[in-house]
Amino acid sequence: MKALSISPLLLALLLLSACVTINVYFPAAAAQEAADRIIKDVYGNEQKTPQPAEPSSQLQTPPFAMVMVGAVLEWLVPPAQAMDIDIQSPGIQRLKGAMTGRHQQLAPYYASGAVGMTRNGEIAVRDLNAVSLRDRAQVSQLVAAENQDRTALYNEIARANQHPEWADDIRKTFARRWVDNAPAGWWYQNESGSWVQK
Amino acid sequence: MASPPRSGIRLLLFCLLLVTAPARALEGISLSLGDLQGADWSLQELSLELDWREDGDLRARLSAARASLPPPLGEVHDVQLDCARLDLQVTRIRCREGRLRAESEWLPGLSAGFAWELDRVTGALQLQLRDLRTPHGRLDATLQLQDGAWQATLDIHELELDGLPALALPWYAAAQDWSLQGRLQGQLRLAGRDTTPASLAADLQLRDLNYANAAGDQAGEGLALRLQVQGKTGSAGWELELQAHVGQGQLYAAPMFLEFGPEAALELQASLASGAQGIAVTAFRWEHSGILRAAGSARLAAQGMMPEQVRLDIEQAVFPGAFTTYLQPWLLDTSFFDLDTRGELMGGLHYQEGGVTRLQLELQDLSIDDPRDRFQVEGLAGRLDWVDDDQERRQQLRWTHAQLYRVALGALQVDIQTRGRQVSLAAPVRLPVLDGSLLVDRFELDYGETMAWRLDAALTPISMTSLTQALDWPEMAGTLSGMIPSVRYENGELQVGGTLLVGAFDGDITVRNLRMEQPLGVVPRLWADIRIDRIDLETLTRTFSFGRIEGRLDGAVEGLRLEAWKPVAFDAWLATPEDDRSRQRISQRAVDNLTNIGGGGVGGALSRGFLRFLDDFPYQAIGLRCHLENGICHMGGVAPAERGYYLVKGRFLPPRIDVIGYEERVDWESLLERLRTVTSEEGPVVR
């Protein structure tokens, strides 16, 4: 009987602490959805249907306790802030526009393997010898400019969502989704950093 | 390069010894000599055959099944040295109609005619290899040797370069990273004593030259070039005169791409002296026809051949070629990489290990145009002399026309004072801006660690008509002026101190706390606080064809934040001043438009049916509030109403009309959309 009377209190404490933890927890699923929306716009129509990513958020498979936490959470913070990633800010739109424009120029280099996707959510020159001499400087420039914009985009998304500290998590999410959304044949860096063709 | 001739000579002497040793005896001799070994060579299954010919000459044939020779010769097999006429005299020994054959992995099917002559009195030796054929090409070689002095000549009729990196491997391990193709023709002469070469002369022509390294940052394609070298060894090392002409092809030396053709050939001349301290380029000329003509001198480090010191004299740089070829590659990671340029410049540059120490530029009618329309300068001219020291220098710069974000700036002549990395104005300057001007009292630029500048200026009135036209906004009457006591730019952030005063719509708009981040970047940000004092609504509504409203308006936009020039946050209100005595009327169309915006309805004592016969209505107060945050505008009006807020509060006496807004939260984008529809519609929509 004693154990029974303690456990609700324990549960309440647990819930409270869980609540605090989850409040700052990076919304992985929402971030992935936001990344996909941006990436699909940047890639345009050429990409194939993305592979579903493995569920990475605790919030997606809710046991009873999590449902409770979810309810408390919703009561504490408006759902829009906890579950959604805003990607409508003019800065994000402007960066996405710049990247979409640049993608037209980069796409042939992704396809030829001259440029590949790095594991940190950027791109890199993989094989400069696959590029005509005339275009080599331009490829290097495109890669540098794209990486500048990508870093700005990750920071911008974090900032627009009032969580500048999320920038790294957003970068990681994007790093995965750039690859998952890319058509077969493009090159990417695997976890150990070596180049793999998709 | 010292090793191959030496081993060659040793091998040769060894052969001579073998051939000359046996005296005349029988009609034929066949000797099996077994294996022979030296310090860095060995010969296996060596045999010698000697036959006396009918004419008295001797025929000597030396063969070895296998030979291990010093690099680059390596492992060779089936070596045959066949001397058809060996003429043995007291004073000289001569071999004619010789034939050499050998098989090796790197030179399969080597064959050559050879001849040699040894003067037994003077000890002079002459060796000729004629029509030396390898799969790579064909060449003749001669070697003369006397008292340790030697002279070698190589006539290259045609040589394919594909195999060269492999040949170079023993000395240059990095050669395996290189691919090389092309054809070589020409002559190479080397002379020296014992193991030391003393002079060199080469005249080589390379055609269809392609090369690339594994990283791809060094490559050439389809190059045609002629290379002439004259050299001799001095006290410390080689002294070389080099002359190259590149008439065709492309090369990429990261980050630079150079393209050559009949119109743009490269002529390069250089005098070099190598020593223990590195290489001194005592003089060089670089002529890239139609693009860049330069001369200078340099010193390259012994390790890595990186420049330690360079003096460059730019005699002529012609734009845009000089920009796209020589400048753009270094600007690729800046926002100035794709400028359109025209004009010419001359100048000079001194580089000392670690950085540029002096830069002189003489600009001649240079034009710079940003393809993204951020800025443009025309007729830029002047002489700049920058030295990395503490001395003060006067410079002059002028342009005939400039433009900043589509705002035209007039001709400017400016005296500049420089000291090291600091630049300032020598005297106040007046910069024409549209129909007014910016009087710049002070300008200081510091580009030491990061770039920072500050500016004190005053803006004399610019007509809003010309400004709004330039910016492609709805045309507004009025003027823009202001005291700008302190504009600072530091760490990518621009701060404007003081107040900008916009006299528009017959009232005053003041801008304070103006601040910008990355003004030329992809996502420029702007912060400001704006106050609006007694602007005339009739002028305003006419300008934006909103539907006529008469009266005055006060207001403020606090905490305005623009991102990529679009508002993302502000707290704004507009309202009729409390003490307004002007005529206050609102037209039917304006009522409809306001109704639209507020998402509300028209209330009042009378139904709309009666009112539609009237052109306009008197009002007591008109106003709007919008607190923008996260894309949502939290709306309000002049006063709260039941379940909403008054946008227009009518006069107490009829005909009275109230416009009441009910939507508390409006999506900012859809609000803008509504405004756009409203202001683009032509006449009134009263039915």
How many other C-beta atoms can be found within 10 angstroms of the C-beta atom of residue A79? 11
Note the pLDDT of residue B525. 92
Distance CA A12, CA B152 (A): 96
Could you say which residues of chain B have pLDDT below 50?
1-5, 22-25, 601, 603-607, 682-687
**Domain tally for chain A?**
1
| The residue type at B628 | L
Max CA distance (Å), chain A: 82
Distance CA B202, CA B104 (A): 28
In terms of Cβ atoms closer than 10 Å to its own Cβ (0-12, 13-18, 19+), residue B205 is middle
Say yes or no: B628 contacts chain A, CB-CB below 8 A.
Answer: no
Note the pLDDT of residue B499. 85
CB contact under 8 A, B564 and A134: no
Range picked from A44-53, A78-87, A173-182, B456-465 for highest mean pLDDT: A173-182
Distance CA B427, CA B429 (A): 6
Residue A53 pLDDT exceeds 80:
no
* Gap from A111 CA to chain B (nearest CA, Å): 18
DSSP symbol at B683 = S
* Gap from B217 CA to chain A (nearest CA, Å): 7
Q: Which of B221, B522, B568 sits opposite A133 (nearest CB)?
A: B221
Mean pLDDT in residue range A21-41: 83
* Gap from A183 CA to chain B (nearest CA, Å): 26
Q: Which of B217, B523, B562 sits opposite A128 (nearest CB)?
A: B217
User: Which of B337, B563, B565, B633 has the most A C-beta neighbours within 10 Å, making it the best mutation to test the interface with A?
Assistant: B563
Say yes or no: B568 contacts chain A, CB-CB below 8 A.
Answer: yes
A128: chain B residues, CB-CB within 8 Å: 215-217
CB contact under 8 A, A91 and B257: no
Say yes or no: A163 contacts chain B, CB-CB below 8 A.
Answer: no
Q: Which of B215, B332, B523 sits opposite A94 (nearest CB)?
A: B523
CB contact under 8 A, B219 and A127: no
A149: chain B residues, CB-CB within 8 Å: 522
Q: Is B16 helix (H, G, I), strand (E, B) or coil?
A: helix
Closest CA to B35 of B22, B45, B25: B45
* Gap from A65 CA to chain B (nearest CA, Å): 32
Distance CA B229, CA B206 (A): 14
Note the pLDDT of residue A10. 47
Report ipTM for this prediction: 0.71
Per-residue burial over B509-546, b if 16 or more Cβ lie within 10 Å, else e, is bbbeebebbeebebbbbbbbbbebebbbbbbbbbbebb
- Residue A171's domain comprises 2-197
CB contact under 8 A, B525 and A95: no
Note the pLDDT of residue A168. 95
Note the pLDDT of residue B425. 94
Q: Are B360 and B347 in contact (CB under 8 A)?
A: yes
User: Which of A92, A128, A135, A154 has the most B C-beta neighbours within 10 Å, making it the best mutation to test the interface with B?
Assistant: A128
Note the pLDDT of residue B342. 95
CB contact under 8 A, B565 and A89: no
Distance CA B567, CA B561 (A): 6
Using DSSP bridges, classify how beta strands A115-117 and A187-189 pair: parallel, antiparallel or unpaired: parallel
C-alpha separations of B170 from A113, B77, B179, B219 in Å: 33, 20, 16, 23
Note the pLDDT of residue B609. 57
A141: chain B residues, CB-CB within 8 Å: 332-333, 337
Note the pLDDT of residue A60. 32
Cis peptide upstream of residue B320 (ω within 30 degrees of 0): yes
C-alpha separations of A19 from A27, A61, A63, A82 in Å: 14, 16, 14, 12
* Gap from B522 CA to chain A (nearest CA, Å): 7
Say yes or no: A70 contacts chain B, CB-CB below 8 A.
Answer: no
Distance CA B70, CA A51 (A): 60
Q: Which of B332, B523, B631 sits opposite A95 (nearest CB)?
A: B523
Contacts 24+ apart (CB under 8 A), B384-389: B384/B359, B384/B360, B384/B418, B385/B358, B385/B359, B385/B360, B385/B361, B385/B418, B386/B358, B386/B359, B386/B360, B386/B418, B387/B357, B387/B358, B388/B355, B388/B356, B388/B357, B388/B358, B388/B420, B388/B421, B389/B420
User: Which of B180, B181, B218, B252 has the most A C-beta neighbours within 10 Å, making it the best mutation to test the interface with A?
Assistant: B252
SS3 content of chain B, % helix, strand, coil (to 5): 10, 60, 25
Residue A6 pLDDT exceeds 80:
no
Max CA distance (Å), chain B: 149
CB contact under 8 A, B250 and A134: yes
Note the pLDDT of residue B75. 86
* Gap from B332 CA to chain A (nearest CA, Å): 5
Instruction: List the domain boundaries for chain B.
Output: 1-135, 170-278, 523-680
Nearest CA in chain B to A144: B333
Closest CA to B478 of B514, B436, B531, B530: B436
CA angle B254, B257, B258 (to 5 degrees): 135
pLDDT tens for each residue of B317-349: 999 999 988 988 888 777 788 899 999 999 999
Closest CA to B146 of B100, B192, B212: B192
Note the pLDDT of residue A104. 94
Per-residue burial over A114-131, b if 16 or more Cβ lie within 10 Å, else e, is bbbbbbbbbbebbbbeeb
CB contact under 8 A, B250 and A133: yes
- The neighbouring-strand residues paired with A21 are none
Instruction: Indicate the pLDDT class of residue A55, thresholds 50, 70 and 90.
Output: very low
Q: Which of B215, B254, B522 sits opposite A98 (nearest CB)?
A: B522
B255: chain A residues, CB-CB within 8 Å: 137, 140
Q: Which of A88, A93, A128 sits opposite B215 (nearest CB)?
A: A128
B568: chain A residues, CB-CB within 8 Å: 89-91
B672: chain A residues, CB-CB within 8 Å: none
Q: Are B658 and B644 in contact (CB under 8 A)?
A: no
Say yes or no: B253 contacts chain A, CB-CB below 8 A.
Answer: no
* Gap from A137 CA to chain B (nearest CA, Å): 6
Q: Which of residues A54 and B85 earns the better pLDDT score?
A: B85
Distance CA A131, CA A120 (A): 24
Distance CA B261, CA B409 (A): 40
Residue A79 pLDDT exceeds 70:
no
In terms of Cβ atoms closer than 10 Å to its own Cβ (0-12, 13-18, 19+), residue B147 is exposed
| The residue type at B188 | L
CB pairs under 8 A between A and B: 77
* Gap from B662 CA to chain A (nearest CA, Å): 23
Q: Which residue has the tokens 């290489």?
A: B279
